[in-house]
Structure 1
Amino acid sequence: MSSARQRNGRATRRAARFVLGREHRCHRKARTEYIKIEKTKAIADAQALLRLAILVSDRSFVPTPRALGPQSPEEAMRVGGQAAAIVIAGSAVATILFFGSFKDSNAQSNARYLPQYAADGQLLLPKDFHEWVYVGSPLTPNALNGGQANFPEFHNVYIEPGSYAIYKKTGEFPEGTIFFKELQLTLPQENADGSRTEASGRGYFPGKWNGADVTVKDSKRFADTNGWGYFNFNHHEPKASMAKVKSKDECAYCHIANAKKDEVWTQFYPLLDNKDAR
């Protein structure tokens, strides 16, 4: 019995040396010998590999000479080849799963949030806009606008991420693009111009939220306003849950006359205006 185990041990070591030689040296003699073995045992190898793959998929299974059952040097070499094949195949499967997950992750991250409307045509307040791409914050302090700016006071502007991804590639805002402008008051003024002094110096500092405006691109739905719809979700808190589209003389006319690109104030948003940033 001891002699048989020794022979099996020697056979297993020879198989290991053979596999390593095939893997690392790949000299002609090793390839020729391997091909001979594979040709004579092709069907058995395929069946054994399938069984081994099923076993290896069970984390509780650890391949051993006894589990694989080598009974001769030839069998040991065949099992060694199978084990190497399983390692290679396992690596390939792991690679495929990784890149498949990466691809799915990218697809998910680039999935677009499109405008949602109520039955009467009102736009529903977009969700999770704070997670969108931030493009800029123009500032119109009340104190510098007769005590009541049209859009008080910080205009924190976000673009829907999927639309931004397309814009980066094409330089054009796709249909369904949403811009979310959240208004935010400054902290209470200490000076006549509305400014105050904080640790960083004198200026204007963000305070409470103050409502929102939303712009949507839809060339068919908003054909009368150059393809963009404008919505006011209150200029105070809380924000409205839905809003009606504004008439052309309320919002669109100003964008048409003054906005730099496709009715969008890209002149205030370097991320959208700077070609190098895209």
Structure 2
Amino acid sequence: MKWTLVLLAAVLLVVVATSRNTVAQEEPSDGPRYENETNLVRPTDYRTWTFLSSSLNMTYEPPSGGSRPQLFQNVFVNPSSYRGFMQTGGWPDETVFVLELRRSSSEGAITTTGQFQSDLVALEAEVKDSRFSDGWAF
């Protein structure tokens, strides 16, 4: 009887371990997808990816006298690359960063000061891919 229980437990352990590996292998990749080998396909689920940061009106350009549109910038990265970064301290090949630019608004809020994000203005992406000459594509 004791051997039967040990054998049953061993079989159950093998079945559970095998089924977990099968599920992990079936997970779709969250890395870059391309059309014609070079045109990045827009990730439809990027807003469910790891959120890295948000900023308002950050720019590398010198201040100008004119008024610029007030834009929020949100940065997302594919989850598998974030996990890789947390383990190694470096971004792995097939990392995808998505930069989302959104208008800022203060009208329509119940508060009297401050701004919130509104319409999507632009979407940009940066991909770490060893196939490209400098290892990155924009």
After TM superposition, the score normalised by the length of structure 1 is 0.40
Partner of 1:40: none
Partner of 2:114: 203
1:93 equivalent among 11, 14, 32: 11
Report how far residue 107 of structure 1 moved: 5.4
Higher relative CO (CA 8 A, sep ≥ 6), structure 1 or 2?
2
Greater strand proportion: 2
Output the CA distance in 1 between the equivalents of 2:133 and 2:67.
33
Secondary structure of the 2:35 match is coil
Greater helix proportion: 1
Report how far residue 215 of structure 1 moved: 0.5
Report how far residue 211 of structure 1 moved: 2.7
Report how far residue 101 of structure 1 moved: 3.5
Report how far residue 180 of structure 1 moved: 0.8
Which protein is bigger by CA-based radius of gyration?
A: 1
Report how far residue 91 of structure 1 moved: 2.5
Partner of 2:84: 166
Partner of 1:181: 99
After TM superposition, the score normalised by the length of structure 2 is 0.72
What is the Cα-based RMSD across aligned positions, in Å? 3.2
Closer/same/farther in 2, CA of residues 147 and 90 from structure 1, 3 Å limit: farther
Report how far residue 92 of structure 1 moved: 2.5
In structure 2, runs of 5+ residues without a counterpart are none
Output the CA distance in 1 between the equivalents of 2:39 and 2:68.
27
In structure 1, runs of 5+ residues without a counterpart are 1-80, 191-195, 231-278
Output the CA distance in 2 between the equivalents of 1:120 and 1:173.
22
Report how far residue 103 of structure 1 moved: 4.3
Report how far residue 187 of structure 1 moved: 2.8
User: Which residues in structure 2 correspond to 1:211-250 (within 5 Å)?
Assistant: 211-223=122-134, 227-230=135-138
Closer/same/farther in 2, CA of residues 157 and 121 from structure 1, 3 Å limit: same
Give the paired residue count: 133
Report how far residue 105 of structure 1 moved: 4.6
Partner of 2:68: 148
